[in-house]
Structure 1
Amino acid sequence: MTKRETNGRAETTTKRQTANDDLGTKPIGRLAVSLAIPAVVAQACNAAYTIVDRLFLAHIPGAGDLAMTGVGVCFPITLAVSAFAMLVGMGGGPLASIELGRGDQGKAERYLGTSVAAIVVISIVLSVLIQLFKTPILVLFGASDATLPYAVDFLTVYLSGTLFVQLALGLNTFITAQGKALVAMGSVLIGALSSLALDPLFIFALGMGVRGAALANVVAQAMSAAWVIRFLTSPRSIIRLRAGSIRLTRLLGPMLFLGVSPFIMQITESVIQVVFNASLQRYGGDSYVGAMTIMTSLMQLIFVFSQGISQGVQPIIGYNYGAGLYTRVRCAYSGTMVVQVAINCTMTTLLAIFPGPVASLFTSDTAIIDVVTRTLPYFVCGMGVFGIQNVVQCAFVGMGQAKPSLFLAIFRKLILLVPLALVLPRLGLGTTGVFIAEPISDATSAIVAGLLFAWYARRLLMGTDGTAGRSRQPL
């Protein structure tokens, strides 16, 4: 054995031991906080960018409300682009984390290389297809004659950065999977802060309007992607990205199988926004679509904490499940559940109490403000318990359990929310039916998710540490 090989193996052993010290031995509470806080901060900056971006758009002279509404119509498409990044990243990242727990760094790195190859292919296909059919898609998604030009302008520029978005979002999960929460946070901070700085320059100083907002997003995502790739190719990364591993392999199958649950969670969010916008355009008009744009921006404030905490805790669950440390898995799950529900209830209450003042930050249009004031309190009231489903899905994905996670994703959105949003307005409730579909779905899915995890936990986590309950294989 050469000296280089000896040093290389020693380096690998040291990295594995570091991961074990961080994820397998530290107290769960402190470990969860150390991983979740950077993730929450990163998500908060991302949400702040979304909100401030729409504030800028709303203040474009002579076109603010139409510009904001037009970009809001594009929101389902941007969600869909993100969903494909999650399909790859949220499938590959947790599986890589499990392999680290089992001590197989080589396989973890092969998951990373396969993910990069898949992201490149998906990005090219998505960009071409959406560019070809963007106008009919936007009309279908709720664009009116007045808002369509703004939607087309934004989307045309935004799609040029699809690869950057996919790389930044999809590969960041591999940084989180190895417990490098601060590095993962840095990626999101770079993207969000760059966008915040470039938005006023491109939108107002250069007079680019909505095209400027899209260009700011593209540049920011490119910088974020560069940060992620730089880290994953450096010696600091436990899971290294190597040129020779960037190819499609058989590992793509289990990655997509596990990633399909978060993918459906995100892609159905896109479907929901389409249904919301189309129904609101039909029963209410542009002011209701504009109000929904504001309300979905505000909902991001709640998702910030839910998604950030889940991203921080998921590698803890994945690593310890892979290592057979079931007591730590149960502790991480229960603690996360308490924190998420408490935070969600607090945020929901604040939004329900002050809907009017919050809406007035986005627009001076009294019609839009009136819609938000009347509907926001009951639109968000179910978000207090949304954290239950979010934590359950986080745990299922972390343990590599694709089927129950997939079921929950389908249940809340495709079985409950979409049909309710389509049927309730036709039962004489009009736009009110669209808005109350959300809390009904949130509450129902939270109950089902809690019961489902309790049943699965008896099969997977009831053994002592180092032994399985009944089966540790994906179900």
Structure 2
Amino acid sequence: MTRRLQFKVDLIHGPIFQSLLFFAIPLFFSNVFQQLYNTVDTMIVGHALGDLSLAAIGSCAAIYDLLIGFALGIGNGLAIVTARSYGADDTELLKKSVAASIVIGLLTSLVLTVGAEVILMPLLKMLDTPPEIIAEAFSYISVITRFTLVMFAYNLCAGLLRAIGNSFMPLVFLVLSSCLNIGLDLFFITQLHMGVGGAAVATVIAQGISVVLCLIYILKKAPVLIPQRRHFKIERGIYAEMLGQGLSMGFMGSIVAAGSVVLQYGINNLGTLVIAGHTAARKLFMFFNMPFSAMAMAISTFVSQNRGADQRTRILKAMRCAVLYDIAMAAGVTVILLLFAPALVQLISGSQEAVVLNNGALYLRVVGPFYAVLGVLLETRYALQGLGAKMIPLVSSVIELLGKIVFAFVFIPRFQYLAVIFCEPVIWCLMTAQLIYAYATHPYIRGKKGKAELSV
């Protein structure tokens, strides 16, 4: 297999932490600009349209995650199989995995788009979305879900490039489309007066351009990812492996998102100002989570490639480096949030309401130290997926779902927003304990299993 690919990081032979860091840095900035799609929407909506419109976007955020989480999870799972094939230096299997990814992705996106048309409004009503914002919430989320294919296509293209060690070019394409997204947001909302629906249209157009740019680059610079007609032949073994890996991550993503939907039910009963404050705080939470999620994504590709190349010792060393990285980053984030949380919430929300600012700031200050736990959780989960584990990460998602159900129906009615704040940190601790045990006892990590079986 030729490995002369521009901007590629050698994860199999290079220095471990340096390779992880160089691979993770573009992922971090990719996450930043991905989050800009949503954060800019939030800022412009909050400043231009007010607290009710901001609450409208926040009230349907969990539904958005639920509907696309399954498709994005499948995309990530499929890319893991490609990375493992790349690590094993098996070009034929790699191209077959790309072909299977395309077929599975198209079918999944179609099913999710059709399903969303049926369940969106009933789901908003089931979540007790306040009557004064339900129409705006639907106008936003319905546009997004009708173009699930666009979002899946970008994440699949970017995931395939990362699978072969190139995390830089997806960042370049995302930066360009993010700048376009900001301009379109301002134009559609402030000039055409399209309301929150305009923010959704801007997001879809910008992500569509990311897809086009990714495809052009793959065609010109990454021919190893271009399957031929024969690679689309359905083979039972490889499709079983791809579906198993993809569906496990897809169900994991949808279960996590379902937990967020349940939690949103509890939040929606606390009033529009609380919803607005939580929406702004969650945007900031996602931003500060990016260094941790970037390292977790780097670990996923690193473990997948080194599992394919049978480099167990490198995997063990990489995980130790990642944990130290989490502790250092969490300390820095905690200090920033302790000092600047109220100002950051005001910046995002544009609100002067004490309820919005105080609740959002308290959420961030409590969650800050737990970023270390969340980082270990994400990296352990992704490492297990890179090793080929399918059910164990799914179990952790079930723990999260059950925990959020308990908080939504037991603790939030009693302790109000304080229960929302402590919900996820408590659940993260339980999930992390389960995942660390599963990782430590995995046969390959214990040295009881040989080279990965990639011939499926």
CA contact (8 A) 1:86 1:259 kept: no
Whole-Å Cα distance in 1 between the matches of residues 376 and 224 of structure 2?
Answer: 32
Does the CA-based 8 Å contact 1:164-1:221 persist in structure 2? yes
1:418 aligns with 2:402: no
RMSD over aligned CA atoms reads: 2.6
Paired residues of 1:117 and 1:248 also in contact (CA < 8 A):
no
Q: 1:375 to 1:312 in 2, by over 3 A?
A: closer
User: How far off its partner does 1:245 sit?
Assistant: 4.0
The aligned amino acid for 1:446 is T
One-letter identity of the residue aligned with 1:98: R
Q: Distance in 1 between matches of 2:391 and 2:260?
A: 25
1:30-41 matched pairs, under 5 angstroms: 30-41=18-29
Structure 1 residues 471, 106: CA separation in 2 closer, same or farther (over 3 Å shift)? closer
Instruction: Give the counterpart of 2:426 among 440, 460, 463.
Output: 440
C-alpha spacing 1:183/1:20, structure 2 compared with 1 (3 Å): closer
**1:155 matched to 2:131:** no
Stretch moving more, 127-136 or 110-119: 127-136
Structure 1 241/64 Cα, relative in aligned 2: closer, same or farther at 3 Å? farther
Between the aligned partners of 1:159 and 1:350, the Cα distance in structure 2 is 35
Mapping of residues 22-421 of structure 1, within 5 Å: 22-60=10-48, 63-242=49-228, 245-246=231-232, 250=236, 251-282=238-269, 284-361=270-347, 362=349, 363-411=351-399, 413-421=400-408
Query: How far 1:248 moved relative to its partner?
Result: 5.9
SS in structure 2 of the partner of residue 170 of structure 1: helix
Q: Percent identity?
A: 20
Q: 1:374 to 1:403 in 2, by over 3 A?
A: closer
Residues 169-221 of structure 1: CA distance to partner in whole angstroms, max 9, x if unpaired? 13321110000111222243334332122211111122212121011011011
| In the alignment, structure 1 residue 460 sits paired with structure 2 residue 439 | no
User: Aligned letter for 1:131?
Assistant: E
Matched AA of 1:48: L
Give the whole-Å Cα distance in 1 for the aligned partners of 2:168 and 2:221: 16
**Counterparts in 2 of 1:57 and 1:322: CA distance versus 1, 3 Å:** same
Conserved 8 A contact 1:160-1:218: no
TM-superposition CA deviations, 1:20-56 (whole Å, max 9, x none) = 9923222112221221111111111222332222010
Matches of 1:133 and 1:469 in 2, distance apart? 45
1:68 partner letter: L
For 1:70, give the aligned amino acid: A
What is the CA-CA distance between 1:314 and the residue it aligns to?
A: 2.2
Aligned-partner Cα distance in 2 for 1:199–1:219: 11
Q: Secondary structure at the match of 2:168?
A: helix
* Aligned equivalent of 2:436: 450
CA distance in 1, matches of 2:222, 2:122: 47
Task: Name the CA distance, whole Å, in 2 between partners of 1:153 and 1:442.
Answer: 33
Q: 1: distance between equivalents of 2:283 and 2:6?
A: 39
Residue type at the aligned position of 1:156? S
Task: For residues 105-138 of structure 1, give each alpha carbon's deviation from its aligned partner in whole angstroms, at most 9, with x where no partner exists.
Answer: 1111111111112222222222222123322222
CA distance in 2 between partners of 1:76 and 1:259 (Å):
22
Report the more deviating stretch, 146-155 or 311-320. Answer: 311-320
Structure 2 regions of 5+ residues with no counterpart? none
Separation (CA, whole Å) in 1 of partners of 2:403 and 2:32: 28
SS of corresponding position for 1:364: coil
Kept in 2: contact 1:123–1:163 (CA 8 A): yes
Matched residue of 2:225: which SS? coil
| Structure 1, unaligned runs of 5 or more | 1-12
CA distance in 1, matches of 2:232, 2:197: 33
Output one character per residue of 1:204-251: Cα deviation in whole Å (capped at 9) or x when no partner: 122212121011011011111112222333353432244564576533
Higher relative contact order (CA 8 A, sep 6+): 2
CA drift of 1:333 comes to: 1.6
2:9/2:22 contact within 8 Å kept: no
Q: Offset at 1:146?
A: 0.8
Tell me the distance in 1 between the aligned counterparts of 2:334 and 2:403. Answer: 21
Q: Is the 8 A contact 2:27 2:297 kept in 1?
A: yes
- SS of the aligned residue for 2:226 comes to coil
Task: State how far apart, in whole Å, the 1-side matches of 2:289 and 2:354 are.
Answer: 27
Superposed displacement of residue 393, structure 1: 0.9
Deviation at 1:142, TM superposition (A): 4.0
The TM-score, its normalising length taken from structure 1, stands at: 0.87
Letter in 2 for 1:454: A
